[in-house]
Amino acid sequence: MTSRMVGPTRTMVTTATGHSLGELAESAWERVAGDSLMIFEGHQLRGDALGERARRLSAGLRAAGLQSGDRVVVCMANCPEVNVTYQAVWRAGAVLTPVLFLVSSDELRHVLTDSGARFIVTTPEFLPLVTSACEGIPSVGAVVVAQDPGGAGGSAEAFPRLAMAELEAGFEGPLIPREPSDLAALLYTGGTTGRSKGVMISHDALSAAAWSAVASGDDGQEMLSRVLLPLPLSHAYGLMVTVMGLHITEPTYSVLMRWFDAAGWLRLAQDHQCQISAVVPSMLQMILAEPVEDYDLAAMRRIASGGAPLPAEIVDEVERRLPDVAVGEGYGCTESAGVIATQPAGARRHGSVGMPAPGVDVCIVGPDGAEVAVGDEGEICARGPMVMSGYWHSAEETAEALRAGWLHTGDIGRMDGDGYLYVIDRLKDLIIRGGFNVYPRDIEEALLAHPDIVGCAVVGRPDPKLGEEVVAYVQLRPGATVSEREVIAFARAHVSAAKYPREVHLVEAIPLTSVGKTDRKALRGSSR
């Protein structure tokens, strides 16, 4: 077992846990909101003005019937109203349930039904989706529409009108006290193996994850206060990045993207001289496909990557083309509020996702549940204050995931003698071909070394003789003429004879899930 603890620094509050997120937000508003700015699509918004809107919306929601512990689904693209709603919900003592706007009506309906949500907040462009999903669900008491100064139409409640209702009614809207162990967020997983399930994250867990991320990134030097935010705020990673702002003691200048596009990211980074940005690997790949050298990125110092494994070739290319930018890969999952390991500031180790984040213990266990030797592979397990309380209405799955006091992540990894963690692959993605373990990530990284391959994904398909066969889906650079046979020959030259793919499919693009991860479920379906 390895852990790394660091004390609070000049850039963060001194307490990782012990307060509700509503209390932390109130403290942050008083501390830095007056000097902090958010930039969104050409508009400049002061932090204290956003804080005031959150207070009013919180009071309006309470006046409309929201009770402590009620779940509030938030289904919006990135916009200032997302942050306002999050803080309003926590101030009202309720539970946040963020949902990515790319979900289908059936998927949203499942979340609404399973969570028993009382309110749902959305924007006009997603109102038809929300209305369809809510139909016939009696638990949903109100639909609130943001960014709609006129009437919302139908039975929906306009966000601004609701926020003003508390003023007209003289409703003061106090901060509703919540215990740190109370539920703060109910996050639904992607459901890659079936119906998505709710992950229960307490106020302490989300606060601890954000505190840990801030602590690990502070090297005592210049504070990187000009932040570019392209991540979906509805994802665990994006939510954690949002809460990081509650632990900062110095004003920030945040540039929020409604949704990511590579050219837009580069333009905003240049125009606002951003210093740091958090991304997922697929975003970084798209950025590198652009002429990054044509933009003035002199201020950019750090790009943090999480949410999925980051191929070493991408790190090398970023640091070759942007030599002043450090790439830091982290590791976490929804069940750990997005944080397990982070790169120590100024001490990145090639191929590693870093060391256990401050406050986190990590161990690697074998199939028998015993800890393996240093350097050996096994399942990554973690414990710490950021670990989930459990799965919503699922005691059996909770007991399986939280065995012996440890979160069993379902990921395969190893740790070196210095405590650096290396993520090998997902346990469920492991391919067993003729008795040999084949990790898709190993094959993908080998294929990405080919100069004409810009994307790839490896899955297994049933094989009557070998159990499973290795199948690779490959995306080529525009204009490249590499054949399937040549891809197989390249792989054979770079990985062992037992592991190279015997079957290759050239595709226009590698399918991604709504949060930017390789959609292996879709690929497995097409390979059968």
Q: What is the pLDDT of residue 159?
A: 65
CA gap 477, 246 in Å, rounded: 42
Q: What is the pLDDT of residue 266?
A: 98
The region, left, alpha or beta by phi > 0 then psi within -120 to 50, assigned to residue 146 is beta
Apex CA 335: angle with CA 392 and CA 243, to 5°? Answer: 105
The region, left, alpha or beta by phi > 0 then psi within -120 to 50, assigned to residue 93 is left
304: part of which helix (H) or strand (E)?
strand 302-305
| Cβ 476 vs Cβ 452: under 8 Å | yes
| Cβ 340 vs Cβ 321: under 8 Å | no
| Cβ 306 vs Cβ 331: under 8 Å | yes
3-state class of 343 per DSSP?
A: coil
| Cβ 472 vs Cβ 482: under 8 Å | no
Beta strands in 168-232 (DSSP E): 183-188, 198-202, 226-229
Decide the pairing of beta strands 431-433 and 436-438.
antiparallel
Backbone angles phi, psi at 499, to 5 degrees: -120, -20
Closest CA to 119 of 69, 187, 175, 54: 69
- Domains observed in the chain: 40-178 (3.40.50.980), 201-426 (3.40.50.12780), 430-527 (3.30.300.30)
Q: What is the pLDDT of residue 4?
A: 36
> C-alpha 131: how far from its chain's center?
27
* Strand-pair partners of 305: 279, 329
Q: What is the pLDDT of residue 160?
A: 67
| Cβ 366 vs Cβ 372: under 8 Å | yes
* Strand-pair partners of 327: 303
CA gap 140, 128 in Å, rounded: 15
Closest CA to 74 of 146, 151, 179: 146
Q: Roughly what angle, to the nearest 10 degrees, separates helices 47-63 and 80-91?
A: 50
Give residue for tokens 């982070």: 342
Q: What is the DSSP string of 104-119?
A: -HHHHHHHHHHHT-SE
CA gap 333, 501 in Å, rounded: 29
Q: Roughly what angle, to the nearest 10 degrees, separates helices 281-288 and 262-271?
A: 80
pTM, entire model: 0.83
| Cβ 269 vs Cβ 297: under 8 Å | yes
Each residue's pLDDT tens digit in the chain (528 positions)?
Answer: 333 333 333 344 445 668 899 999 988 888 887 889 999 999 999 998 898 888 888 988 988 889 999 999 999 999 999 999 999 999 999 999 999 888 888 889 999 999 999 999 998 889 999 999 999 898 998 888 886 544 444 456 666 677 665 555 555 568 999 999 999 999 998 544 457 899 999 999 999 999 988 887 655 556 678 999 998 898 888 888 889 888 888 888 999 999 999 999 999 999 999 999 999 888 898 899 899 999 999 999 999 988 777 888 888 899 899 999 989 888 999 999 999 999 887 777 888 999 999 999 999 999 899 999 999 999 999 999 999 999 999 999 999 999 999 999 999 999 999 999 999 888 788 888 877 778 888 899 899 999 999 999 999 998 888 888 999 999 999 999 999 999 999 999 998 888 899 999 999 999 887 667 788 888 887 766
> What does pLDDT average to over the chain?
86
Q: Classify burial at 489, counting beta carbons within 10 Å of its beta carbon; exposed 0-12, middle 13-18, buried 19 or more.
A: exposed
